[in-house]
Chains A and B, each alone.
Chain A
Amino acid sequence: MTGDAEVVLALALGVLFAAGTFLVLRRDLVRVVFGVLVLSQATNVYLITMGGIGGVAPILGHGGETTDPLVQALVLTAVVIGFATTALLLVLVYRTYQEHGSIDLDDIQGAVR
């Protein structure tokens, strides 16, 4: 627990989120997947920071105050699930290309509706 406003971290997260948002809004499906990835990375960083980054690793027997282990367990789960969904997203992109012959959302939209 830092108790201080982390300006560097705040700016870095701002840039990461902005980049992720911009990518999600593209018409190229692969870039949309890029965007989702960047957003989840940034979210993980944010969550880890909330557990405090100043302490000792949460392994007992090293002395000192540990960082929040619960947050780390959460993020670890999120990383694994993030991998699973990324793989699924990519396969969906692949299937979309096979079905429609394009990964341009502008083309696909016309085909679906």
Chain B
Amino acid sequence: MVTFILGLPYESNVQSTPDLWVLIAAVGLPFVAAAATPLVARALGNRTAYYAAAVAAVCFGLVVTLAGTHGGAAVTWVGPLSISLGFYVDGLATLVGALASGVGVLVFCYSAGYMRGEPGQPKYYATMLAFMGSMLGVVYAGDLVVLFCFWELTSIASFLLVGHYSDRRESRYAARKAMLVTVGGGLFMLVGFVLLASTVGTYSLTAMLAEPAATRAAVEGAGLLLPILSLVGIGAAAKSAQVPFHVWLPDAMAAPTPVSAFLHSATMVKAGVFLLGRVRPILVGGDWTTAFVALGLLTMLVAAVLAVCASELKELLAYSTVSHLGLIVAGFGFSGALGSETAVFHILNHAAFKAALFLVAGIVAHEAGTRAFDDLSGLRHDLPITAGVTVVAALGMGGVPPFNGFYSKELLFEASYEFAHHAGGLAWLAPVVAVVGSVFTLAYSLRFLSIFFGERPETLGSVHRAPWPMTGPPVVLAAIAGVIGLGGITAALGAPLAPVESFVGWVVASTLGPDAAGHAASFHYYLPTYVSPAVVMSALAIVGGVACFLRWRRVRWATRGLLDALPVLRADGWYDRLVYGANHASTRVQRALWTGHLRTYAAWTFVGAVALAGFGYVATGVAVPNATPSLGATLTIILAVAAVAAIAAVRAPSHVAGVMALSVVGFAVTVFFVLASAPDVALTQVVVETVTFVVFLVILDKLPSYYGRIERSRAARDVVISVLVGALVTITTLVATDATPDAIASYFVENTVEQAGGHNIVNVILVDFRGLDTLGEISVVAMAAVTVLTLIVMRERGETP
């Protein structure tokens, strides 16, 4: 499949800009097809797989037509925020897009055999198609917002796929875990994107990647390089299951095996490393190297150890994926072209051998009925084709020459050696960790391979050969891996596999920082014919790996002991503690807040309002203005009366006395309205105050004279809250009266006579300009009246609510 796009020319002079409609078709088609899947599945039944495979093949075709183009295409989406539905095509996008759609074709074909007769097929194929579409959206996104949206869509789709067997408890747990970790990481990434966009002034990735040096300068100028790098890095690490986010990927094997193959090789986890490659030209530098080399190599080592401890096929492969992603992350971490070559070439190689191995694991589980290493051995007689595939793929995974994984691992050794050679000191840890990680990698790869060799155990029942839809795809993948591997031998003999080299070189070019540009087009790989540090490191890794495999029991015993001593390596704890802790905390908070006491709610509302407004004042640095007593004596006296009356209402010894004090407040406010030149409001207030007073007296007559004694402790707390509210209001009033607001009143002053023929502006506003509001007000009064009537009449009729 890769050979299609490899035949294209990639020299810069023939690169044209991509066609927007091809891009929209490539990204949109899987979603349309997903929506149509339930109908199609009704007609096709078990053959729906081929429908999905055809869709994936069309997408792959579209990706191929896009290969060789370079640049962005966009339609405006949210104009004022400079967000567009933008797409961007370059080498990296083409590589990962081709993997997503190409592996998609194979995985769908495989599903035809694997999912045959299983319930829930329409859901499965629809989600898989949407998953592939989201992944294509991620790789072709030319705008940060578009990238984020598709990024989260992949999380949602993988949630549905991991939880495919929704009646199983561990499936649901795994799905939730995958979702929470990756979506949580996505939120960090979103914050990073917003910071990035606000510094650069656009959300357009196309624009940023066109001027990586200027973008980096803007980010550094704002002092935001480190925050943006960390936030985007957390997003990528969560998606690519880097330490300590590697907790979700091994659990995700609860999904059907084709999903695992797809998720581990070409989608989801590759989105994380894709993101690193995407922002690499902008962010690469000293901090970048420190962060991602450390993260990647640590992940590579830890996950390789965990893979050795695995007791079944899929668990081993899951941890091995984490480990290889660590290798890719570390590759992107090294500055310069060598690091990019490591990462890009390994993305390609890993997709080929890992997808093949997962499909092999699926075949073994399907035909032998078990995935446990202890039950499996000597399968080569039963599954000869599968055994052949595994030889190529597993040795590629282990980095044995001349299989494909060897070359990218060799590049990693070279990059890490050069990095250490330049940086010195602690940097020498990098090549050491890389070698130790590779030792374990080879050991577990051989262990995986060993299920096909040795004695066939008695306990293993009859094992049938898998149907061709299941054997075909891994054969294709292994063939690709094998060809890439052979390319190294022919290159050493002077005939390199030019299409692969020029394609990878083109992809590498799109991930280079501004200082390393120009290095790109000359990517070469070959079987080394002379001794270099990297060759020595490879030899060490291979000797160590074989030695470990020969003493497998002791090694596994030791690594398991290490794991028991350091459970932190598995890192399951933090996730459970976080999620269940949040659960408990929310229960406790709910118990404290939701007491059923009116005053609890009121108190929290008041305290919350004070805290929020106060925080707003502090955060915006509002200064309390110099206070000048500018009100006249009359107003001062009236306000004093209102304040004293309010205090009297608080201290009133009976309901009636309270109502009297309230009336004083109300009429003092009326006088205030008169003095404040608001005659209409004052008139209304007089009427309302009078009627309210009457209603109070009518109702109080029917109520007991009970007047709850004020408890000291409670009163003290309430006084504190009241004083806080009062203080906040005082400050607010000071600040507000000090300001001169923009008033829209002049419009009404000028147009009242002309448009409405009235001189009393307030009246005109109420009945003319805002007449509908007044209608609403009257409706409220009418509704209140009806409610009052209902409440009283119902009771008198003896009904209960």
What is the chain B residue whose CB lies nearest that of A37?
Answer: B662
Residues of B within 8 A of A92 (CB): 791
> Is the C-beta of B589 less than 8 angstroms from some C-beta in chain A?
no
Residues of A within 8 A of B627 (CB): 5, 7, 10
> Is the C-beta of B619 less than 8 angstroms from some C-beta in chain A?
no
What is the chain A residue whose CB lies nearest that of B743?
Answer: A68
Q: Find B737's partner among A9, A72, A103, A105 (CB 8 Å cutoff).
A: A9
Residues from 32 to 55 in A contacting B, C-beta threshold 8 Å = 32, 34, 37-38, 41-42, 44-46, 48-51, 53, 55
Q: Interface size of A by Cβ–Cβ distance < 8 Å?
A: 89
Contact (Cβ within 8 A) A91 B792: yes
> Is the C-beta of B596 less than 8 angstroms from some C-beta in chain A?
yes
Q: Nearest Cβ distance between residue A65 and chain B, in whole angstroms?
A: 9
A3–B738 Cα distance when bound, in Å, is: 5
Contact (Cβ within 8 A) B729 A31: no
Contact (Cβ within 8 A) A15 B646: yes
0 or 1 for each of B462-483: is its CB under 8 Å from A? (1 = yes): 0000000000000000000000
Q: Find A22's partner among B639, B650, B777 (CB 8 Å cutoff).
A: B650
A67–B773 Cα distance when bound, in Å, is: 21
Contact (Cβ within 8 A) B675 A51: no
Contact (Cβ within 8 A) A41 B665: yes
Residues from 50 to 99 in A contacting B, C-beta threshold 8 Å = 50-51, 53, 55-61, 66-73, 75-77, 79-88, 90-95, 97-99
Q: Find B777's partner among A16, A81, A93 (CB 8 Å cutoff).
A: A81
Residues of B within 8 A of A15 (CB): 643, 646-647, 726
What is the chain A residue whose CB lies nearest that of B695?
Answer: A87
Which of the 9-residue segments B32-40, B250-258, B336-344, B630-638 touches chain A? B630-638
> Is the C-beta of B625 less than 8 angstroms from some C-beta in chain A?
yes
Contact (Cβ within 8 A) B737 A49: yes
- Contacts A4-B738, A18-B726, A26-B599: A12 and B643 contacting too (C-beta < 8 A)? yes
What is the chain B residue whose CB lies nearest that of A64?
Answer: B677
Contact (Cβ within 8 A) A25 B602: yes
Contact (Cβ within 8 A) A75 B761: no
Q: Nearest Cβ distance between residue A100 and chain B, in whole angstroms?
A: 12
Residues of B within 8 A of A5 (CB): 625-628, 734-735, 737-738
A51–B727 Cα distance when bound, in Å, is: 22
Q: Find B599's partner among A27, A98, A102 (CB 8 Å cutoff).
A: A27
Say which size band chain B's interface belongs to.
35 or more
Q: Nearest Cβ distance between residue A44 and chain B, in whole angstroms?
A: 7
Contact (Cβ within 8 A) A41 B702: no
> Is the C-beta of B703 less than 8 angstroms from some C-beta in chain A?
yes
Residues of A within 8 A of B650 (CB): 19, 22-23
Give the A-B pair count, Cβ closer than 8 A: 298
A104–B598 Cα distance when bound, in Å, is: 11
Q: Nearest Cβ distance between residue B537 and chain A, in whole angstroms?
A: 70
Q: Nearest Cβ distance between residue A40 and chain B, in whole angstroms?
A: 10
A59–B764 Cα distance when bound, in Å, is: 10
What is the chain B residue whose CB lies nearest that of A17?
Answer: B729
A14–B643 Cα distance when bound, in Å, is: 9
Residues of A within 8 A of B676 (CB): 48-49, 53, 67
> Is the C-beta of B211 less than 8 angstroms from some C-beta in chain A?
no
A64–B646 Cα distance when bound, in Å, is: 35
Q: Find B688's partner among A57, A66, A82, A99 (CB 8 Å cutoff).
A: A82
> Is the C-beta of B311 less than 8 angstroms from some C-beta in chain A?
no
Contact (Cβ within 8 A) A38 B718: no
A88–B640 Cα distance when bound, in Å, is: 30
Residues of A within 8 A of B597 (CB): 105-106, 109
A87–B780 Cα distance when bound, in Å, is: 12
> Is the C-beta of B721 less than 8 angstroms from some C-beta in chain A?
yes
A13–B635 Cα distance when bound, in Å, is: 13
Q: Find B743's partner among A1, A31, A86 (CB 8 Å cutoff).
A: A1
- Contacts A6-B737, A38-B646: A77 and B628 contacting too (C-beta < 8 A)? no
Q: Nearest Cβ distance between residue A72 and chain B, in whole angstroms?
A: 5
Q: Nearest Cβ distance between residue B18 and chain A, in whole angstroms?
A: 54
A99–B723 Cα distance when bound, in Å, is: 35
What is the chain B residue whose CB lies nearest that of A67?
Answer: B677
A7–B665 Cα distance when bound, in Å, is: 19
Residues of B within 8 A of A60 (CB): 749, 752-753, 759-761
Contact (Cβ within 8 A) A13 B730: yes
Contact (Cβ within 8 A) B759 A51: no
What is the chain B residue whose CB lies nearest that of A84?
Answer: B784
A56–B761 Cα distance when bound, in Å, is: 12
Residues of B within 8 A of A12 (CB): 639-640, 642-643
Residues from 694 to 743 in B contacting A, C-beta threshold 8 Å = 695-696, 699-700, 702-704, 706-708, 710, 718-719, 721-723, 725-727, 729-731, 733-741, 743
Interface residues, chain A, CB within 8 Å of chain B? 1-28, 30-32, 34, 37-38, 41-42, 44-46, 48-51, 53, 55-61, 66-73, 75-77, 79-88, 90-95, 97-99, 102-106, 109, 112-113
Closest 6 CB pairs of A and B: A18-B726, A14-B730, A7-B627, A69-B761, A12-B639, A53-B676
Q: List 22 A-B contacts (CB under 8 A).
A: A1-B743, A6-B631, A6-B733, A6-B737, A7-B734, A9-B737, A11-B730, A21-B726, A22-B718, A28-B707, A30-B700, A45-B669, A53-B676, A53-B677, A60-B749, A67-B676, A69-B761, A79-B681, A87-B784, A91-B788, A92-B791, A109-B596
